[in-house]
Amino acid sequence: MKFFDEFKEFAIKGNVIDLAIGVVIGAAFSKIVTSLVEDIITPAILTPALRAMNAEDLAALVIPGTAIKYGSFLAATISFIIVAFSLFLIVKGVNTIQKDTLKDDDDAITQEDLLTEIRDILKEKNTL
């Protein structure tokens, strides 16, 4: 029975639940990125290039006589770049917020140190 109790404790921990939520949100975000690449970027930006290559779809680009689908690879690469850039912006924002919070904490410590010094100076003057 101890095994199941340990599993229950593990499964209910906040980190596991946070991870599960992150996975679900990541899956939904993946669909958004896929739609962005396939429905907006490819038609708007890549359509002239695709027309020049006589292709209608990025995924349809293959090396003739082989099964190498470099168009699918390009679509996946574009998706990765968008996801990486989005995550970069999120992490950059969080780091900025944390930096401001830490800066405020450092100021509070500095004020505390100054107050301690003032207290010590006043004690010295009163003892003289």
Instruction: Give pLDDT, residue 107.
Output: 58
Domain extent, residue 25, equals: 2-127
* Residue ranges with strand state E in the chain: none
Instruction: Name the phi and psi angles at 66, rounded to 5.
Output: -130, 175
Instruction: Identify which of 89, 92, 53, 95 has the alpha carbon closest to the alpha carbon of residue 74.
Output: 53
Instruction: Identify which of 29, 8, 14, 45 has the alpha carbon closest to the alpha carbon of residue 90.
Output: 29
Instruction: Give pLDDT, residue 14.
Output: 67
Compute mean pLDDT per 10 residues along the chain, 128 residues long, and list them.
82 76 87 82 76 74 83 83 84 85 64 85 82
Instruction: Give pLDDT, residue 109.
Output: 67
Instruction: Give pLDDT, residue 108.
Output: 59
Two tokens at 34?
Answer: 């896929």
Cβ burial of 37 (10 Å; 0-12, 13-18, 19+) is buried
Instruction: Give pLDDT, residue 71.
Output: 82
The domain tally of the chain equals: 1
The CATH number assigned to the domain holding 115 equals: 1.10.1200
